[in-house]
Amino acid sequence: MPKKVRIALDAMGGDVGASVVIPGAAISLTRHPDTEFLLFGDRALIEPELAKHPAMKAVSRVIHTDVAVSMHDKPSVALRRGRKVSSMWLAIDAVKKGEADVAISAGNTGALAAMARFCLRMLPGIDRPALAAIWPTARGDSVVLDLGATIGGDAHHLVALAVMGSAMASVLFDLERPTVGLLNIGVEEIKGREEIREAAELLRGMNLPQLEYIGFVEGDGIGRGAADVIVAEGFSGNIALKAAEGTARQITDFLRAAMARTWRSKIGYLFARAAFKALRDKLDPNKANGSVVLGLNGIVVKSHGGTDAEGFAYAVDVGYEMVRYDLLNKINQMLNRDGSALAQAQTAQEAVS
């Protein structure tokens, strides 16, 4: 383990860039003082923010570039214009060069996945990256993936997600054999798309020692914590994420409006203030901010683009924890280092086809 966790930040990423990235990182630094930062972006925008946070400035180095990936750029355009020169690319490249242990960006999700894949390359047996996040549930936390790094995927891809998600869950939750469910429109084996049913057949047949496949999980099973790991392809996973975040905000707004409706409700709020605060904290999407881009030969974390400083701090916390928990080596071990577990799935899928 390194004495310091070295974090590369895309200081220009997100809706507002350095004015959220710098104070967010400063908040995380108070929780993890054994951190150093490489800040990639426009020095004229970064240094005034650093001046407001002396402790952050003392452990940071600024690498100037005035090229930033737009939130609206297509991944192909971002790669063509931003390769080797943009703040996003340079942060990822710092991980490749061994100058940083993790790269964190609140920028364009598609561009980040494409650049990370191009720069860091994929682990053996993995075809495409996946976004994985910690999802608060009724019984604790679960790992949910893919949340939108790529769209679609065959059965082999879904098995790869199961293996990588299990590695992350075992690291975070200290589980020897995490339970895994496939997100589907029903729990019956005859339901769902062909790729999902085929992935279920593969997972049952392989009986991998590093995970316990429990079957299909419907959308409401995510919040119930039906499994330690919930696997979905990126399209449905991203919809599930955005729906959950929107519902959490809606419930918060409903509660706020209800508590302000009458003088009796206002008095009741005073007596139940601690309980409402606990509920609000549980529903706060910022506290679940920070998705790990799994499948890469390096650690990259994606923050929501519209988050505030407190939310970005949680994304930095996730990056720190992934390094300290040695996530990359754990995934490599679960892939048997040469990808043989997934090669087994690929061979089985070809036989079925």
pLDDT band at 337 (very low <50, low <70, confident <90, very high): very low
| Strand-pair category, 60-64 with 140-145 | unpaired
Query: What's the whole-number mean pLDDT along residues 325-348?
Result: 67
Largest CA distance in the chain: 68
Q: What is the pLDDT of residue 280?
A: 61
User: For the ranges 15-29, 136-150, 159-173, 331-345, which has the lowest average pLDDT?
Assistant: 331-345
Distances from the Cα of 322 to the Cαs of 52, 132, 134, 204, 353, in angstroms? 28, 12, 12, 29, 37
Query: What's the whole-number mean pLDDT along residues 187-192?
Result: 84
Query: What backbone torsions phi and psi does residue 211 show, to the nearest 5 degrees?
Result: -155, 160
Range with top average pLDDT, 9-13, 107-111, 208-212 = 9-13
What percent of the chain is modeled with pLDDT above 90?
A: 48
Structure tokens at 260: 């302000």
User: How far is the first Cα of the chain from the last one, in angstroms, to the nearest whole number?
Assistant: 44
Q: What is the pLDDT of residue 18?
A: 95
Query: What's the whole-number mean pLDDT along residues 275-301?
Result: 76
41: left (phi over 0), alpha (psi -120 to 50) or beta: left
- 258 vs 174, more confident: 174
Helix (H, G, I), strand (E, B) or coil at 41: strand
| Res. 206: pLDDT tops 80 | yes
Residue type, 285: P
The alpha-carbon radius of gyration of the chain (Å, integer) is 21
Query: What's the whole-number mean pLDDT along residues 6-13?
Result: 96
pLDDT in tens, 83-97: 899 999 999 999 999
pLDDT band at 338 (very low <50, low <70, confident <90, very high): very low
Q: What is the pLDDT of residue 334?
A: 72
User: Do residues 185 and 191 touch, judged by C-beta distance below 8 A?
Assistant: yes
Q: What is the mean pLDDT of the chain?
A: 86
Helix (H, G, I), strand (E, B) or coil at 62: strand
- 353 vs 30, more confident: 30
pLDDT band at 285 (very low <50, low <70, confident <90, very high): low
In a 10 Å sphere around its CB, with 0-12 CB exposed, 13-18 middle and 19+ buried, how is residue 248 labelled? middle
User: Do residues 146 and 233 touch, judged by C-beta distance below 8 A?
Assistant: yes
Helix (H, G, I), strand (E, B) or coil at 216: strand
Distance CA 261, CA 224 (A): 31
pLDDT in tens, 44-63: 999 999 999 999 999 999 99
| Strand-pair category, 140-145 with 130-137 | antiparallel
